[in-house]
Amino acid sequence: MCLAIPVRVVAKPNESTALIDLDGVQKEISLELLDGVEVGDYVILHVGYALARLDPDEAERTLALFAVAA
């Protein structure tokens, strides 16, 4: 359920809107559900809304976990 993808914030026209980018495809989305988002952050996007911020450190840690198990 819940198709959601991690996207990068490339601009913030105002406090409640962000322009995001995924490999060159850009879209304006709502920040109404997430505070403190800055340009350069990665967010989880679902049906036009940012739901959570993606933590790059945790992402690296998780990838490292995969490699260890391997």
Partner 1 sequence: MSTVKPGYVRPLDLKHGRVDLSHGGGGRAMAQLVEQLFVAAFDNEWLAQRNDQAAFVPPAGRMVISTDGHVVSPLFFPGGDIGNLSVHGTINDVAMAGAQPLYLAAGFIIEEGFPLADLTRIVRSMARAANEADVPIITGDTKVVEQGKGDGIFITTTGVGIVPDGVVISGDRARAGDRILLSGTIGDHGMAIMSKRESLSFASDLVSDTAALHGLVAAMVHAVPGIHCLRDPTRGGLATTLNEIAAQSGVGMMLDEAAIPVRPQVDAACEFLGLDALYVANEGKLVAICASDDAERLLAVMRAHPLGTRAAQIGTVIDDPHHFVQMRTRFGGRRMVDWLSGDQLPRIC
Partner 2 sequence: MKYIDEFRNGALAKGLAHAIAYEADTARSYNFMEFCGGHTHAISRYGIADLLPANLKMIHGPGCPVCVLPIGRIDLAIRLALEHQVILCTYGDCLRIPASNGLSLLKAKARGGDVRMIYSAADALQLARAHPERDVVFFAIGFETTTPPTAVVLRDAAREGVKNFSVVCNHVLTPSAIMNILESPHVRTLGTVPIDGFVGPAHVSTVIGSRPYEFFAEEYRKPVVIAGFEPLDVMQAILMLVRQVNDGRAEVENEFTRAVTREGNLKAQALVSEVFELRRTFEWRGLGEVPYSALKIRRKFGAHDAETRFGLAYTSVADNKACECGAILRGVKEPRDCKIFGTVCTPESPVGSCMVSSEGACAAYYSYGRFRDVAVRAA
What's at 43, amino acid-wise? Answer: V
Residues 6+ apart with CB under 8 A from 34: 43, 50, 51, 52, 53
- Which 45-64 positions form the footprint of partner 1 (CB under 8 A)? 46-47
- Which 5-44 positions form the footprint of partner 2 (CB under 8 A)? 5-6, 8, 22-23, 30, 32-35, 42, 44
Which member of 11, 15, 39, 55 binds partner 2 (CB under 8 A)? 55
Binding partner of 26, given partner 2, partner 1, none, CB within 5-8 angstroms per partner class: partner 1
